[in-house]
Amino acid sequence: MTSPSQIIIHRPGSLGELHKHVSGKVLIVTDPGIVEAGHVDRAAALLEDVVVFDQVRENPTESDVAQCAQFARVTSPDCIVGLGGGSSMDTAKGALFLLSGGGVMSDYQGHGKAKGPMLPFIAIPTTAGTGSECQSYAVLCRDGSHEKMACGDPRAMAKVVILDPELTESMPLQVARLTALDALSHSLESAVSNNGTDKSRGLSFQAFGSIEPVIELILKGEGSLEDRNRMLVGSAFAGSAIEASMLGAAHAAANPLTAHFDVVHGHAVMSMLPSVMRWNARVVGCVYDELKPGLIDWVESLYELAELPPVEVPSEMIAQLATEAAKQWTGQFNPRPLAVMDFEGLYRRAFGES
Ligand SMILES: [Fe+2]
């Protein structure tokens, strides 16, 4: 598996090849759970000169990234390895921006605002979901809020991606479920994005083709090493598809749910995805049929298979959620446009109101 600017290695045990792709002092950016799982020790044992920043937090903020960048300034690495879930990779990517150009992360919001060359970046996901390893964007939160900020530049793309399904064994079942559903949603939203191209749709279809045969086993906690490998590859393909085409209204509607009710991203997206797909079917139903007959009902059935509880949304909050969803950048790429009142309708349908 290759892309023009990345080397992607995908096989069980491929973490053992890390030393072939780095040189000099290596900074590993990770979180305490990944240290506890033993993955950092395994990676560090392969390297001669290594320092570890293990303070990554979920939904990293501007300040979290600044802290990581400061650690890097003090330790002066020659390359950076993001080892963990999307939060580790986003923190590492954010630090690349600050190290190369200074300032604060909000200076880089948007696309192509990096000010200089960046250190080589190697991405090693330990979850199969975000696809961050194949994206040039660091998705971060503004300090003091859950407001998402996307900072992207081609120079922030990982030079090497190591997909080792042995690393995903340590994921708790609920994390495996929610990240798998997020990856599925990435393949489905990017497949119908109004910003898509033949190439991006090809990536979305490849992602779906890799994920669809194994996701039920993953959700049941019965996935084999090979099944988890397929999930990792599918998640990476979906990440590449997002890079080329962006997402849609399920992500736009999910972000306010995470912001107000702390609903985990994959859960929030999944609670909205079937409603958004029914809304979209009028214009892209043929694409859904091409992906899988009965696709929307099947997606809906996965919510139960993953044993996700219903998201509790007070009806008096729906107008505010809809206003916020309509402002989300990602919503503009939805194939059927939505106004605030349309988002209200989606929320009411998703949460069982008429
Ligand atoms: Fe997502």
Question: What pLDDT sits at residue 354?
Answer: 46
Question: What pLDDT sits at residue 148?
Answer: 80
Whole-model pTM: value is 0.93
Same domain, 210 and 184: yes
Which domain CATH number covers 331? 1.20.1090.10
Same domain, 148 and 292: no
Q: Which of 167, 195, 214 is the last residue of a domain?
A: 167
Question: What pLDDT sits at residue 151?
Answer: 95
Structure token digits, residue 158: 């990982």
Dihedral pair phi/psi, residue 204, rounded to 5°: -60, -45
- Centroid of ligand 1 to alpha carbon of 28 (angstroms): 24
Same domain, 188 and 155: no
Same domain, 137 and 104: yes
- Among candidate residues 245, 249, 253, the one with its CA nearest the CA of residue 194: 245
Q: Which domain holds residue 209?
A: 172-350
- Centroid of ligand 1 to alpha carbon of 185 (angstroms): 7
Same domain, 193 and 321: yes
- Centroid of ligand 1 to alpha carbon of 16 (angstroms): 29
- Cα dist. 308→128, 145, 232, 288 in Å? 18, 25, 22, 24
Same domain, 242 and 94: no
What one-character-per-residue DSSP string does 309-323 give?
Answer: PPP---GGGHHHHHH
Structure token digits, residue 42: 């395994």
Same domain, 18 and 162: yes
- Centroid of ligand 1 to alpha carbon of 10 (angstroms): 22
- Centroid of ligand 1 to alpha carbon of 189 (angstroms): 10
Same domain, 183 and 162: no
Question: What pLDDT sits at residue 144?
Answer: 79
> Which 3 state secondary structure label does DSSP give 160?
strand
Same domain, 156 and 241: no
Question: What pLDDT sits at residue 268?
Answer: 97
Dihedral pair phi/psi, residue 8, rounded to 5°: -120, 120
| Residue 75 amino acid letter | T
- Centroid of ligand 1 to alpha carbon of 130 (angstroms): 6
Instruction: Give the residue carrying structure tokens 């190591």.
Output: 162
Judge contact between 85 and 115, C-beta under 8 A. Answer: no
| Residue 22 amino acid letter | V
Question: What pLDDT sits at residue 2?
Answer: 42
Judge contact between 6 and 161, C-beta under 8 A. Answer: yes
Strand partners, 9: 162
Give just the sign of the alpha carbon dihedral 26, 27, 30, 32.
Answer: positive
Q: Which of 147, 167, 187 is the last residue of a domain?
A: 167
- Centroid of ligand 1 to alpha carbon of 55 (angstroms): 23
Block means of pLDDT (10 residues each) for the chain, length 354 residues?
Answer: 73 96 96 95 96 95 97 98 96 97 94 92 94 94 82 95 94 94 97 94 97 98 95 96 93 93 94 97 97 97 94 93 92 95 95 68
Same domain, 193 and 259: yes
| CA 334 – CA 194 distance, rounded (Å) | 6
| CA 251 – CA 247 distance, rounded (Å) | 7
Give the start-end residues of each E strand in 112-255.
Answer: 121-125, 137-141, 148-152, 160-163
- Centroid of ligand 1 to alpha carbon of 173 (angstroms): 18
| CA 55 – CA 37 distance, rounded (Å) | 15
Q: Which of 167, 202, 223 is the last residue of a domain?
A: 167
Q: In what order do the strands lie in the sheet with 137-141?
A: 110-111, 148-152, 137-141
Same domain, 71 and 111: yes
Torsion-angle region of 82 (φ positive above 0: left; ψ -120 to 50: alpha; else: beta): beta
Same domain, 346 and 199: yes
| CA 232 – CA 226 distance, rounded (Å) | 10
Residue 192 CB burial class (10 angstroms; 0-12, 13-18, ≥19): buried
Which domain CATH number covers 50? 3.40.50.1970
Judge contact between 291 and 184, C-beta under 8 A. Answer: no
Question: What pLDDT sits at residue 353?
Answer: 63
Number of domains forming the structure of the chain: 2
- List for the chain the helix, strand, coil content (%; round to 5): 55, 10, 30
- Centroid of ligand 1 to alpha carbon of 239 (angstroms): 9
HSE-up (13 A, CA, CB side) for residue 165: 17
